Amino acid sequence: MSDPVSLVDITDFAESLAREAGELIQQEREQNTLRTDYKKQTELVTHADVMADEFITGAIRQRFPDHRILSEETMPDLSQAEELETPLWIVDPIDGTVNYAYGHPQVAVSIAYAEKGRVQAGVVHAPFPAEIFRATRGRGATLNGSSITHSGATVPRESLFATGFPYTKDDLEPLVKRLDAMIHQCRDLRRIGSAALDICWVACGRLDIYYENVSPWDFAAARLIALEAGATAGHFSDVPDGYPADLWGRDILISAPEIWEPIRAILRSASGYE
């Protein structure tokens, strides 16, 4: 590391960046007509996404010039997650861009810090409801400074789950099969529109289960927050050999501990994995 700072200092720094980025995206939505575009012809992006990304990554580069950055808008090179020798920051300036563009409050700034493929610090800031979720590995998780824990759910039938769907709709059949199985064996579904907040809501007990295929910037910070809140995090398919599980987003599953294995079995069966 270029600076002799503790993981708590790292988390504090991430929180300060998330708060400032949150103010920026709030001001952009309140004061301006949002400028929007599309990447890969289907995925919505706003000018505020790029502005917040450039602000966060610029501040990280200035303080930690030797660190690498994986960010959704300006540096979305997923191979960064495979190079484990240098500390890595994982940034999503606006998780829930469609929500943001439509004036919905479920929007988050997500910043994670990883060493050797393991996420050590994570902050998820929801600026519109003014909520800060944060965790430092081994120190628990908090929401606005107060400790949080998972729901303690014990029965899938009585559990509330969240998931999401990709921007491209070419291969929805496996997702629909999973959704059908989960709807029939759980209490109900919530579609929030921000993976980071889905996971943080599992961490604080507003949801019992979350599963989806997502990119590292969507979940890296929130996954640590959920783990530090006592939730169980893993995958319902195999992680490739040599790839850090903390950053592998395919078939991710996060839930209250007692229902994790039963839910994993439901999802594996619906996916044809067994």
Ordered domains of the chain (ranges, CATH): 7-147 (3.30.540.10), 156-271 (3.40.190.80)
Top-confidence residue, 144 or 5: 144
Residue 171, pLDDT score: 81
Using the predicted structure, report yes or no on whether residue 3 has a pLDDT greater than 50.
no
Per-chain mean pLDDT for the chain: 92
Residue 211, pLDDT score: 98
Residue 18, pLDDT score: 98
Q: According to the annotation, is 37 in a ligand binding site?
A: no
pLDDT digits (tens, 9 = 90+) for 54-78: 999 999 999 999 999 999 767 767 7
Residue 44, pLDDT score: 65
Using the predicted structure, report yes or no on whether residue 191 has a pLDDT greater than 90.
yes
Residue 111, pLDDT score: 98
Q: Name the least confident of 41-45, 106-110, 223-227.
A: 41-45
Residue 1, pLDDT score: 40
d(CA 127, CA 21) in angstroms, rounded, equals 9
pLDDT digits (tens, 9 = 90+) for 6-56: 999 999 999 999 999 999 999 988 876 565 565 554 456 678 888 999 999
Residue from 192, 204, 188, 202 nearest 252 by CA? 202
Q: According to the annotation, is 183 in a ligand binding site?
A: no
What would the 3-class secondary structure string for the chain be? CCCCCCHHHHHHHHHHHHHHHHHHHHHHHHHCCCCEEEECCCEEEEHHHHHHHHHHHHHHHHHCCCCEEEECCCECCHHHHHCCCCCEEEEEEEECHHHHHHCCCCCEEEEEEEECCEEEEEEEEECCCCEEEEEECCCCEEECCEECCCCCCCCHHHCEEECCCCCCCCCCHHHHHHHHHHHHHCCEEECCCCHHHHHHHHHCCCCCEEEECCCHHHHHHHHHHHHHCCCEEEECCCCCCCCCHHHCCCCEEEECHHHHHHHHHHHHHHHCCC
Residue 40, pLDDT score: 54
Residue 83, pLDDT score: 74
Task: Note the pTM of the prediction, 2 decimals.
Answer: 0.94
Residue 39, pLDDT score: 57
Q: According to the annotation, is 228 in a ligand binding site?
A: no
Q: According to the annotation, is 12 in a ligand binding site?
A: no
pLDDT-above-90 percentage for the chain: 78
Q: According to the annotation, is 95 in a ligand binding site?
A: yes
